[in-house]
Structure 1
Amino acid sequence: MLRAYKFRLYPTKPQRESFMKTFGCVRFVYNKMLEERIRLYEESKLNPDAKQKLPTPAKYKPEFPFLKEVDSLSLANAQMDLNKAYANFFRDKSVGFPKFKSKHSDRASYTTNNQNGNVRIEDGKVKLPKIGFVKFKQHRSFEGIIKSATISMTKTGKFFVSILVNQGEEKWIPAKNKIGIDLGLEHFAIMTNDDMVSEKIDNPRFLRKSEEKVEKAQRALSRKKIGSKNREKAKLILAKKHEKIANQRKDFLHKLSKQIVDENQVIVVETLKSKNMMKNHKVAKSIGDVSWYEFVRQLEYKCKFYGRTLIKADQWFASTQICSSCGEKGQKKTMDVREWTCTCGAHHDRDINASINLLMLAD
């Protein structure tokens, strides 16, 4: 089984410059290959019988010798990323056509492969091709064969390495419990287990709590002259505010999802189309802050790691409308109805009733 471990890097100034150069070269090659692919596609429409040879990173090295200074595997992986983006587009048009990478808006990163031990850990440092040994904080150990390493940089200038490790077959520890999880805005999650014990997890609202500080930083940035050093400083302050919120949210989601996976063998969660729901501007910010998609994504991969079963309820399953006692689906209830009584006499909390109905799908 492949697992990734992410660690903070502490590169020297020359190493930082090498990382930045590699980020730029990978972005440059990706855009060049995408540009040529678009041209070849246009030509093939004019002449369908023409045999087109797809571009590779090696094609650009004679014309742009600076590409020879960086890790060749990082450029090869950029080609693989482009191939994957194309395959995804032709598989599902809703994914969108591959886009050109931007220095300012896209994530700065590159991936290199481990060949003959050129990616390894020694004496508190990680060895990377063309870079050498880089100091890093290994906060947890792992066993297995290193397959690849992805180096990335945040908007605040912090460097990280994500090491992909082949650990063979996972030894799973089975659990007996089942749980149904209803997601919401007032409470982040409403959970009911097979003992019919319900628990409501408060929505932490990290963005809402820091909104005033973020807006203050945004106003300060807007007042700075474009291209000035003060603007760069203000941009960094704003990026740190957003990074803190993202880290708080990520920490909350990881801890909650890990706890659920540790304690339960079967997990049922409702399917929510966040993208569609965010078209409602009244709740768009709250939905973006709560991050349901990321929570379900974490549950999904952790269930695979630990041998759990994750059931995603159909998006049309009316978990909030059905009585969990008698199964009757009554009149549709609007969002402001938080409690209701069924014709069978059962009185329900809307969210707890939904989590019980989801739990029933585990049987």
Structure 2
Amino acid sequence: MRYVTRYRIYPNKETEQRLFSAFNRCTYVRNWCLDHKIFKDSILPKLKQEHPELKEVHSKVLQNVVQQIGQNLTGLKKAKEIGRKVGKLRNKRVHSIIYEQSGFKINGDLLSLSKIGDIPIVISRPIIGKIKQISVKHNKTHKWFVSVISETSDKPTKTNGTQCVGIDLNLDTFSTDTDGKVVDNPRKLRTSEKRLRRTQRKMSRKVKGSRNRRKQRLILAKSHERVKNQRDDFLHKWSRYYVDNYDHIAMEDLNIGNMVSQHLHGLNKSIYDAGWRRARYFITYKAESAGKYVYFVNPAYTSQDCFMCGTRVPKTLADHTHSCPECGYTAPRDFNAAQNILKRACVGLDTPELTLVEIGTSALVQTSVSSSR
């Protein structure tokens, strides 16, 4: 099992300056490799002879910088092979460094980094297993974080439980499941738009390059960070609820990129605000750690097909109720979609199709998620 845990660190000004120097030297190595089209870390000894200041950065850190370029190029090549439109790697600044296998040590509330020094760290959660890698990052709001990657030899025990649920993600609410649970959409970006617009306008009035503009940019970055943290907090609690209470979870395999490119009546901002892709990521990794199962099904016509008889009943986004003219089955649109999602997952697993009674027809309950991460 691999675990990734993030902690806040608090370097003093002297240590912070050494970290920034390491970022600058990693930036030079990265951009030099791109300019000269050399992507092997065997070039590093020669670079260190030409630029002795590179010796002030731990060797594993520089090796990782070069290796990441190769990994990025491989990823772009694979994306191009499957027909995706890809660009090319460009020169940019490095805002993080990675120590792998060696060069670091965590002792109590101190993080020791080779060529950097000791940095106070807040261990908010215990580190599980043996530490394999750490990544030190400086974000736009001038906060320092370290991500600790650790491993254990244990493997999650796969569940033998039979608790199943189908989840339909939507914009009116956030989700509706086959047990009738409806989770409200918090719309964190929408509720913060007025404050964000005001902060953005203030920054646009500042003189470019001035100290006041830099101060306002920091205020704006903190406002966006607050929205992101609120959204992540909600999604963590939402995904934790389903992983803790169900053994088999079925969801739609939504292609967010295609949905946004269709320009659905100005819904792009709402789609991004909902954070569906992040919700999928959270629920997937939590389920893997707990030995639970997550299934992603084809989303086509889940809202239009009747769960009882399969008749396709066309609907617009304004239609919130499914009413089948063939069998007379009537249910909220999202509830019918959740039932279809679970049924498709069961058919994909070669299990008998579930009846309406087996899936559940409990009354819809408006609720908000409040469980822990």
TM-score after normalising by structure 2? 0.86
Partners of 1:167 and 1:221 lie apart in 2 by 47
Segments of 5+ residues of structure 1 without an aligned counterpart are: 41-51
Q: Does 1:128 align with 2:118?
A: no
Partners of 2:43 and 2:273 lie apart in 1 by 40
Partners of 1:310 and 1:171 lie apart in 2 by 15
Partners of 2:156 and 2:77 lie apart in 1 by 37
Partners of 2:308 and 2:338 lie apart in 1 by 13
**1:133: how far off?**
2.3
Q: Does 1:66 align with 2:44?
A: no
Question: What is the identity, as a one-letter code, of the residue corresponding to 1:96?
Answer: V
User: For each residue in 1:281-312, what CA deviation from the matched residue of structure 2 results, as whole angstroms up to 9, or x when unmatched?
Assistant: 71111111111111111122222211111111
Partners of 2:280 and 2:147 lie apart in 1 by 21
Instruction: Tell me what 1:351 maps to.
Output: 334
What is the identity percentage for the equivalent residue pairs of Structure 1 and Structure 2?
33
**Helix, strand or coil at the partner of 1:322:** coil
> Is contact 1:266-1:309 (8 Å) kept?
yes
User: For each residue in 1:4-25, what CA deviation from the matched residue of structure 2 results, as whole angstroms up to 9, or x when unmatched?
Assistant: 1110111111111122122222
How is 1:106-255 mapped onto 2 (pairs within 5 angstroms)?
Answer: 108-115=95-102, 118-172=103-157, 174=159, 175-192=161-178, 197-255=179-237
Q: Does 1:102 align with 2:92?
A: yes
Segments of 5+ residues of structure 2 without an aligned counterpart are: 347-373
Question: What is the identity, as a one-letter code, of the residue corresponding to 1:313?
Answer: V
Question: What is the identity, as a one-letter code, of the residue corresponding to 2:316?
Answer: T
After superposition, the Cα gap between the structure-2 partners of 1:23 and 1:54, relative to the gap in structure 1 and judged at 3 Å, is: closer
**1:323: how far off?**
0.8
**1:143: how far off?**
2.9
> Is contact 2:41-2:63 (8 Å) kept?
no
> Is contact 2:8-2:121 (8 Å) kept?
yes
Q: Does 1:314 align with 2:301?
A: no
TM-score after normalising by structure 1? 0.88
Question: What is the identity, as a one-letter code, of the residue corresponding to 1:350?
Answer: R
After superposition, the Cα gap between the structure-2 partners of 1:57 and 1:291, relative to the gap in structure 1 and judged at 3 Å, is: farther
Instruction: Tell me what 2:242 maps to.
Output: 260
Instruction: Tell me what 2:278 maps to.
Output: 294
CA RMSD, 1 decimal: 2.0
> Is contact 1:113-1:149 (8 Å) kept?
yes
Question: What is the identity, as a one-letter code, of the residue corresponding to 1:290?
Answer: A
Partners of 2:49 and 2:9 lie apart in 1 by 33
Partners of 1:24 and 1:258 lie apart in 2 by 39
**Helix, strand or coil at the partner of 2:174:** strand
